[in-house]
Structure 1
Amino acid sequence: MPEIETARLQLRPYTPNDLDELAPILSNPAVMKYSPRGPIPTEKLKEVTLETLEFFIAHWRQHGFGVWAVVEKATVKLIGHCGLNFLPNSPEVEVLYRLDQAYWNQGIVSEATKASLRYGFEVVKLDQIVAITAPEHTASRRVMEKAGLKYEKNAQFYNLDVVYYAISRSQWQPDDSPYILQT
């Protein structure tokens, strides 16, 4: 599976060995506040984290694209994830992201999102990529807008009311951000 190197990040495939690093991120109620799953109860944390890893790994195998583990290059620490995933019961591909709270407001998720979009349009040759979030999740909406996605409508996914953003391959423009694809 391919990896991507950006200025500060290594986007690499998840493995089951990431369980112990990902679980504390997913256990943080602030990180999970807008997740369709919501905060994960402590007694189910390992189980849900393993299910998440298995889902992301299987998605890559089945579709040739998916969600990467986001690793800070300077520390080689797993700090979250970002990548491409089919929306449930839909042919649409979304870009999604979730970062450890200590890494918010540093432009890191925007960096990972832009790399994921580039991969989706240049390698996977997707025609469109979408993103969804809770209407009140302004930080996530800013990430979408910085990456070039535009608000299109209110919608419902995961049995939640969301705002729906999208960008087409013809609208997308790569910037000069460092991006090294390693296959």
Structure 2
Amino acid sequence: MLHRGHEGTDGTGDGGLVVPMAWLYAEYIADELLRGGDLMPPTSFEFRAGRDALALTVFLSDTEGELPGVQVVSHLETWLSLTAYDQPWQDWVRERLAEVAAAGAGRPDPDLELAREAWRWLRETELLAPDLNAVPGGPGPLGEDEGPKVWTPAWQLGLPLGHLAIHLF
């Protein structure tokens, strides 16, 4: 027996597989937005960072449990405001993960587990990215890929990529 979302987690012991539909749909939306923006190769770590940051945004902003039926266009403004540069996105993610966990009251939640894993990867993984704080016009002419680089947490690279992908949609 195949279940969606939280069905089958009520302790009935039917042995059914619980499918994390909300998380998978959030990942699908994020993937489509990034592919549509054509910002980087889908096989790159940067793409994964953008997809995971967007998927977390989409998943955690679904406060009504309507994600599998959501109309993407009607939520773009919300996602843009959550991913904006001046917003404390990482604090919002931590708070929403705690709220979702508390609402589940200890029940197994495969959607939440995948969201937590994505957040862990975004926090703990660092990617080598251009140093946006470097002094312009430094020594000698440099090509686009030859400028100063700095190790950056994946979420700090993925979040602006996701934001840009939403704008390009």
The TM-score range, normalised by the shorter chain, is under 0.3
Larger Rg: 2
TM-score (norm 2): 0.27
Structure with greater contact order relative to length (CA < 8 Å, sep ≥ 6): 2
> 1 or 2, which has the higher strand percentage?
1
Q: Tell me the TM-score normalised to structure 1 length.
A: 0.26
